[in-house]
Structure 1
Amino acid sequence: MSKYIPGNQKHLSLQDRIYIQNELSKGSSFKDIARFLCKDPTTISKEVKSRRLSDWWHKGTFYNAHNFCIHRYHCKKKNACGKIVLCGVKCASCPTCNQTCPDFEKERCNRLDRAPYVCNGCTKLINHCTIAHKYNYNAKAADRKYRETLSDSRSGISLSRHELRLKDKVISPLIAQGQSPYQIITNHPELDMSVRTVYTYLDMGLFTSRNIDLKRKVKFKPRKVHKTQISDRKVFTGRTYSDFSELHLDSFVEMDTVHSSNDSAKTLLTFFFTKEKLFLAFLMNRNTEGAVRLVFDRLEKRLGTYEFLSLFEHILTDRGSEFGDPDSLETGITGFQRSNIYYCDPMRSGQKGGIEQAHTMLRMVLPKKTSFEFLTQWDVNLIASHINSTPRESLNGRTPYSVAKETFGEEVLKAFQLREIDPDEVHLTPKLIRFNR
């Protein structure tokens, strides 16, 4: 049975086209194919007819392989063109026969003029078929042609040159006067354009004015494109920030990564307990899904599965590619679920503002562009201990270490390899690591 619901109006996929190709080779009708795919037979008919491939087969006489006349095997005409006075060669062997002969009739096949419109599934052997112009349906080629058509239909703009010129006469002079696109669209509703469209057309160079003519354009740097985000959107099902907000949690864990300079592949995996303000950091040799899983497994072995579940039951993180396999992070070394991973909305780092604030303290010791190549886990533990020994106003002047000690117990903090630092010895500058080397 088909997995599709009748009437869903979805486009044909590559799997659908492969099925169509296989069924055509078996000689199935359009009606049978449409019934399985839950489509209308005309959909299958239009698909095959519009995306079939033309194939020229070199069939004909011995001398002229491109003769498509139906009379070519029995024709005895000579000098039909009248160009050569003494010509003893049969016209059927001449390359110009089809163009000059008044009795030319192109050989046709009823199979190509009506369903199935292709040679797929033809009972006549290819070597015995005399039709020169054949058609074949190939699923991959048809899907590629469909993708190209879909892309072309969405490119360009939906305005004629005359319409674009009329809008340009209004917009460009006002931009030259220092007005913003929002101001122009608000004062001229007859333009029937959105502000976003005006910015897009300016970036495309369709108006006389350019985007550099905008008042604030030169003040902004190009927005960075995050190429390391999770590409598989299926992992966000049931794990979005809205799903997380419905839990109404008072205490949870925020997770993120801190990158080294370009000359080192090492990365810090960081955790932040929102209620206790406790900060943890673990050094990873590379920023990958496997490296994150390794840290999770190591923590579970130190703490035990039950203690790990009680501490890291709910984790909120961003959409970095290193967190792209939540199932492996949520599944413990014994096969039981040890955590629940949720993701912030794109470009909303403020949704996990606690760990971002902790990163500012981390960057006091490890400024940006600092290489982590010679950093050890002992150094990272020392930095985390100093950060956790700093009093917080949100904790009424207490340190995260003292609050976590009351909540989690001293054994848990030992498993985290944290220790309490004397208040006068807390050091949050790059000298902290230099002095301890």
Structure 2
Amino acid sequence: MSKYIPGNQKHLSLEDRIYIENELNKGETFKNIARFLCKDPTTISKEVRAHRLSDWYHKGTFYNALNFCIHRFHCRKTNVCGKIILCDVKCTSCPTCNQTCKDFVKEQCKRLDKAPYVCNGCTKKINHCTIAQKYRYDARFADRKYREKLSGSRAGINMTKHELRKKDGIVSPLIEQGQSPYQIITNHPELDMSVRSLYTYLDQGLFTARNIDLKRKPGFKPRKCHKTQITNRTVFEKRLFSDFSELQLSSFVEMDTVHSSRESSKTLLTFFFTKEKLFLAFLLNRCTKGAVRLIFDRLEKRMGTYEFLSVFEYILTDRGSEFGDPVALETGLDEIQRTSIYYCDPMRSGQKGGLEQAHTMLRMVLPKGTSFEFLTQWDVNLIVNHINSTPRESLNGSTPYDAALETLGKETLNAFQLKRIDPDLVNLTPKLIRFNH
């Protein structure tokens, strides 16, 4: 890079390429374009030449649409190919002229051989241009090609065939002897690879051994890909499970969502109070950030800001996309911080095991595959009341409702729309909802 240009040392973005295309259409030079983008002119030159798009225009007569010779307008030759004895048609009108004539010279455009290397900004109209092959610079096409090359250059494994064959000679015989990948990696540090990498190479078929040769892997189903997790990693700053563990809390609230079948978009937002074992559930029409915040705002209005803060002071949840805006959930209606949200580690649902156990009781009434489309909040409250009226051994035979009544108070339970169910009337089967409908 030129020492006179303070470059940012970054890749060209789509916005940069759109600027290049617009300036080329105006007839600007590479030097002026580079000055604006803080790049070296050679960077712009390489970008244009590497990603220019070829366009073929079929010009000429009806019989000879692909004649690219520079002599085609004044050439008088006939029967150059010698195939037809009595042919008196000019060779310039014959499709085979370019392949058979010794004097053929392909027509070239100086604009394509030197800067700007493309037809962008050319003053000559396309319909009047006789050049058969034209080049233009398209910003979106160039950006797509660049991204494909960027990802393709990183595909595959960082290993030569000789190194792979050498590792295969160690790994495959030991797997045939019944050893696990962890055992092989531990006993052979010279392999210089992790257990995860070894599993990946086996899965891709790079070794002689296959997945079927492993002891346990053929018995496991592939893990489902969680495509709805939070993608913005900045929200986890100071909200990780390690930060939560440093608080050493004896009482907090766990939060999660329970999804319906594929036929319905309705979702249940669930809470679990670890000390009282109290379970709450609220029906969401859509599993979105805004829907979750609406439940928070509704509870704050019922309870009051300071009562909400005392009850929901600390919340531990998973990394679902519906919880991807913690600032909005933590900020109350009066711009007062009403709670503090922390996130579990990836694929560690056991870190909020109390709520997962409560979900098993919920699934007794709403089995997996059940559609929530016809559920109402009244139905959900009924299910929650029956769950909270079930005695727990961890509470010495007391129910979560009675434990919460002592710690949270009657007004808070009323705000949650909870009530006690007679022990002999508690029903944790699907008939609980079907009976009421």
What is the one-letter code of the residue matched to 1:95?
P
Deviations 1:157-208 (A, max 9, x none): 4445555444433332222111223333444455454433332221122332
Tell which deviates more after alignment, 100-109 or 372-381: 372-381
**Identical-residue share of aligned pairs (%):** 69
Q: With the length of structure 2 as denominator, give the TM-score of the two structures.
A: 0.81
Asked if the contact 2:244–2:342 (Cα under 8 Å) also holds between the matched residues in 1, the reply is: no
Deviations 1:254-293 (A, max 9, x none): 2112345667665432212345544322234554445434
* Corresponding residue number in structure 2 for 1:183: 183
Asked if the contact 1:240–1:345 (Cα under 8 Å) also holds between the matched residues in 2, the reply is: no
Change beyond 3 A, Cα 1:92–1:239: farther
The question of 1:248 aligning with 2:266 is answered no
The question of 1:300 aligning with 2:303 is answered no
CA drift at 1:23:
1.7
* Corresponding residue number in structure 2 for 1:319: 319
Deviations 1:218-266 (A, max 9, x none): 3433223223334x42672546416853983745432112345667665
Asked if the contact 2:68–2:98 (Cα under 8 Å) also holds between the matched residues in 1, the reply is: yes
Change beyond 3 A, Cα 1:283–1:384: farther
* Equivalent residues in 2 for 1:351-362, closer than 5 Å: 351-360=351-360, 362=362
What is the one-letter code of the residue matched to 1:146?
Y
Change beyond 3 A, Cα 1:306–1:153: same
What is the one-letter code of the residue matched to 1:102?
K
Choose the corresponding residue for 1:382, options 371, 377, 385: 385
Q: Which secondary structure state, in structure 1, belongs to the residue aligned with residue 72 of structure 2?
A: coil
Structure 1 residue runs without a partner (length 5+): none
Structure 2 residue runs without a partner (length 5+): none
What is the one-letter code of the residue matched to 2:135?
Y
Tell which deviates more after alignment, 17-26 or 274-283: 274-283
The question of 1:126 aligning with 2:126 is answered yes
Asked if the contact 1:239–1:341 (Cα under 8 Å) also holds between the matched residues in 2, the reply is: no
* Corresponding residue number in structure 2 for 1:38: 38
Instruction: Quote the Cα distance in structure 2 between the aligned partners of 1:167 and 1:408.
Output: 62
Change beyond 3 A, Cα 1:419–1:192: closer
* Equivalent residues in 2 for 1:253-272, closer than 5 Å: 253-259=253-259, 266-272=266-272
Deviations 1:86-121 (A, max 9, x none): 432222222222222222222212221122111111
Instruction: Quote the Cα distance in structure 1 between the aligned partners of 2:246 and 2:31.
Output: 50
Tell which deviates more after alignment, 52-61 or 266-275: 266-275
Deviations 1:21-45 (A, max 9, x none): 1121122222332333333333322
Q: Which secondary structure state, in structure 1, belongs to the residue aligned with residue 319 of structure 2?
A: coil
Instruction: Quote the Cα distance in structure 2 between the aligned partners of 1:432 and 1:344.
Output: 34
* Corresponding residue number in structure 1 for 2:110: 110
Q: Which secondary structure state, in structure 2, belongs to the residue aligned with residue 200 of structure 1?
A: helix
Change beyond 3 A, Cα 1:129–1:419: same
Asked if the contact 2:385–2:420 (Cα under 8 Å) also holds between the matched residues in 1, the reply is: no
* Corresponding residue number in structure 1 for 2:27: 27
CA drift at 1:123:
1.8
Tell which deviates more after alignment, 21-30 or 71-80: 71-80
Asked if the contact 1:365–1:383 (Cα under 8 Å) also holds between the matched residues in 2, the reply is: no
Change beyond 3 A, Cα 1:156–1:70: same
Q: With the length of structure 1 as denominator, give the TM-score of the two structures.
A: 0.81
* Corresponding residue number in structure 1 for 2:48: 48
* Corresponding residue number in structure 1 for 2:235: 236
Q: Which secondary structure state, in structure 2, belongs to the residue aligned with residue 92 of structure 1?
A: helix
Instruction: Quote the Cα distance in structure 1 between the aligned partners of 2:107 and 2:298.
Output: 75
Instruction: Quote the Cα distance in structure 2 between the aligned partners of 1:47 and 1:240.
Output: 42
* Corresponding residue number in structure 2 for 1:147: 147
CA drift at 1:214:
1.0
Q: Could you say what the CA RMSD is over the residues aligned between the two structures, in angstroms?
A: 3.7
Asked if the contact 2:236–2:343 (Cα under 8 Å) also holds between the matched residues in 1, the reply is: no
Q: Which secondary structure state, in structure 2, belongs to the residue aligned with residue 208 of structure 1?
A: coil
* Equivalent residues in 2 for 1:273-284, closer than 5 Å: 273-274=273-274, 276-284=276-284
